[in-house]
Chains A and B, each alone.
Chain A
Amino acid sequence: MGGPGSKEPTPGRSAVPITAVPVRYPERWVAAGIILVLAAMFVHMLFTNPAFNWPYMFDNMFSDPVIRGVWVTLSATVLSMVIGVILGVILAVMRLSGNPVLVTVSWMYTWFFRGVPRLVLAVLFGNLAILYSTIHIGLPFDNYWMPLLGLEGDARFFEIDARTLLTGYTAGLLALSLSEGAYMAEIIRAGLQSVDKGQTEAAQALGMSRGRIMRRITLPQAMRVVIPPTGNETIAMLKDTALLAYVPVTIELFYQLQAIGTRSYQIFPMLVAACLWYLAITSVLMVGQYFIERRFNRGERGVRDRIVGGTH
């Protein structure tokens, strides 16, 4: 390499900064102009179209039944996520257990609950009382084996009327949590598999038992991978609680808003109210998710790249 590169650098030489005419992008300005006009038309419509009936909406979107509906929505989100995560851990551990029965059962569970739409599940669970009018707690198949042993009566210890247990809120909650369990199982499995095998070996070499290794070593490390998609799941679940309206759960937010709309022939304003409520709550959750993710990514260079995406 001869030429200028081989010369001694001369320090402190003055230089003229580059002044050049930047490239223009007229098509971008045209596109932006068109979009601005469309946006202005949209805003204009929001204020002039009487079907929005903003005063009516604001008068009714904070009424008592609606506020109660918000609480039902929040409680259903929290409960179904908690149950879903617990189920997900159990299913993921089953799936990775190596026992063929447990693996198959876990696989089939996931297959079923991921394959059936949540709306269908919600309606299905709302009608489960058709299948069982009463739910008995006792030993299985008692109507077969008790007569064989010459015993009379039954092996049922207590019973619940399914029409009180399996209607409305409980049925809807069951549908959402069982479905969530299937999605969480996949997320947690990915998390568990992301933990290096050497971690388990090191813990084994220290004399830790399998259960303790799972609780103390593997799961905490899997959490870093599991938490971000779980945040997505929580936000998705909040929106999916609207499906409870079809169980039906009459105290639920979307049901209440629709009911007000139908009663007063102001359907559209109350649908807009539903959009605003869900947007408001998911926005709060997204802020929460941002801080949780930032906390769990702290100093974790490698892990951040391995985070699995959301499933919806």
Chain B
Amino acid sequence: MADETKGYETGIVVETAEGAELPGDALVVAENVHKSFGRLEVLKGIDLEVKRGEVMCIVGPSGSGKSTFLRCVNHLEKLSAGRLWVNGELMGYRQKRGRLYELRDSEIAAQRSDIGMVFQRFNLFPHLTVLGNVIEAPIQVKRVPRAQATERALELLDRVGLPDKANAYPEQLSGGQQQRVAIARALAMEPSLMLFDEPTSALDPELVGEVLDVMRDLARGGMTMVVVTHEMGFAREVGDSLVFMDDGVVVERGLPAEVLSNPQHERTQAFLSKVL
């Protein structure tokens, strides 16, 4: 946030070309990420690193920019300023001789195929069966043969606890089941990073547990995860790090247990006193 005064409102800043020398174990590097929608500045300079295998939970009041940041990671939102690397690749742009070139649609798609995302509202494809949802991208994007994709999809459905729902349509499933299918669908692309955008917020309370169980499993398996959530219990138990965001900036970051039980910043204290 040191550069906040530099005036990043307009356009991408070009002078930092040292993005190539990334720490070896960082999978996601966000550098001074800004995002504005018209005049509304939602992200005001986010610097974050997510290491390989790390589970980072992002918490904060609604409107603090958590979801927007997550959507910047896989370039569903274009940054207004700053840089973001995933797996050593600058997201959405190519840097050549000090200039940025927008990537083509197919190149951005290729970058995204390595990043799984799970949405608050599941966003399963309603015209496809559960199996169809899971094999769609591997077949269409990665050109995996159908038989192989199906075999892998059934393994994944088994892993999320839905081995007998392959031929059901999404609308026949409960919210929790739909969200587990959405996780299987994202995993089918063999991503190296998983983004979760409030995955349990749209669920009835009794269905939250089954989704968190799958995510806990995934974390134990070593998956790198960035989770925007309101589930403080999950953040404390599964998270390797906890980020508290408010008003478009990272207010506090640390070990979940420490941040949750001993918040340093008064904004964190105020927020936690309301939700815990």
Q: Which residues of A contact B (CB under 8 A)?
A: 196, 198-199, 201-210, 212, 216-217, 220-221, 224, 299, 301
Name A199's contact: one of B114, B123, B140, B195 (CB within 8 Å): B123
Name A221's contact: one of B109, B121, B127, B182 (CB within 8 Å): B127
Q: Which one of B117, B124, B126, B186 has the highest number of Cβ atoms from chain A below 10 Å of its Cβ?
A: B126
Chain B 102-120: CB-based contact to A (< 8 A → 1; otherwise 0):
0001100111111111010
Q: How far is the CA of A201 from the CA of B75 in the complex (A)?
A: 11
Contacts of B25 in A (CB 8 A): none
Contacts of A207 in B (CB 8 A): 109-114, 137, 141, 189
Q: How far is the CA of A207 from the CA of B195 in the complex (A)?
A: 14
Asked whether A209 and B116 contact (CB < 8 A) given A202-B123, A202-B125, A221-B126, the answer is: no
List the 7 closest A-B pairs by CB distance, nearest first.
Answer: A207-B113, A202-B123, A206-B137, A205-B117, A198-B123, A207-B112, A209-B109
Cβ contact within 8 Å between B113 and A204: no
Name A216's contact: one of B114, B116, B136, B185 (CB within 8 Å): B136
Q: How far is the CA of A210 from the CA of B104 in the complex (A)?
A: 11
Contacts of A221 in B (CB 8 A): 125-127
Asked whether A217 and B125 contact (CB < 8 A) given A207-B137, A210-B105, the answer is: yes
Q: How far is the CA of A220 from the CA of B105 in the complex (A)?
A: 21
Tell me the number of A-to-B contacts counted with CB atoms below 8 Å. 67
**Which residue of chain B has its CB nearest to the CB of A210?**
B105
**Which residue of chain B has its CB nearest to the CB of A202?**
B123
Cβ contact within 8 Å between B106 and A209: yes
Contacts of B186 in A (CB 8 A): 205-206
B124: min CB distance to chain A, Å:
8
Cβ contact within 8 Å between A206 and B136: yes
Asked whether A205 and B126 contact (CB < 8 A) given A210-B105, A212-B140, the answer is: no
Cβ contact within 8 Å between A208 and B123: no
Chain B 229-266: CB-based contact to A (< 8 A → 1; otherwise 0):
00000000000000000000000000000000000000
B169 within 8 A of A: yes
A219: min CB distance to chain B, Å:
10
**Which residue of chain A has its CB nearest to the CB of B117?**
A205
Cβ contact within 8 Å between B115 and A205: yes
Cβ contact within 8 Å between B127 and A208: no
Q: How far is the CA of A216 from the CA of B128 in the complex (A)?
A: 10
Chain B 155-185: CB-based contact to A (< 8 A → 1; otherwise 0):
0000000000000010100000000001001
Q: How far is the CA of A204 from the CA of B125 in the complex (A)?
A: 12
A223: min CB distance to chain B, Å:
8
Name A205's contact: one of B74, B105, B169, B171 (CB within 8 Å): B74
A275: min CB distance to chain B, Å:
41
Asked whether A208 and B125 contact (CB < 8 A) given A198-B119, A201-B119, A299-B169, the answer is: no
B258: min CB distance to chain A, Å:
32
Sampled A-B contacts (7; CB under 8 Å): A198-B121, A201-B123, A205-B76, A205-B112, A206-B137, A212-B141, A299-B169
Cβ contact within 8 Å between A205 and B116: yes
Contacts of A210 in B (CB 8 A): 105
B89: min CB distance to chain A, Å:
13
B243: min CB distance to chain A, Å:
21
**Which residue of chain B has its CB nearest to the CB of A198?**
B123
Cβ contact within 8 Å between A199 and B125: yes
Cβ contact within 8 Å between B137 and A208: yes
Asked whether A204 and B189 contact (CB < 8 A) given A198-B123, A217-B125, the answer is: no
Asked whether A204 and B112 contact (CB < 8 A) given A209-B106, A212-B140, A216-B140, the answer is: yes
**Which residue of chain B has its CB nearest to the CB of A207?**
B113
A204: min CB distance to chain B, Å:
6
Known: A204-B109, A206-B186. 17 other contacts (CB 8 A): A198-B121, A198-B123, A201-B76, A202-B117, A204-B76, A204-B112, A205-B116, A206-B113, A207-B112, A207-B113, A207-B114, A207-B141, A208-B137, A208-B140, A209-B106, A212-B140, A224-B127
Q: How far is the CA of A216 from the CA of B132 in the complex (A)?
A: 11
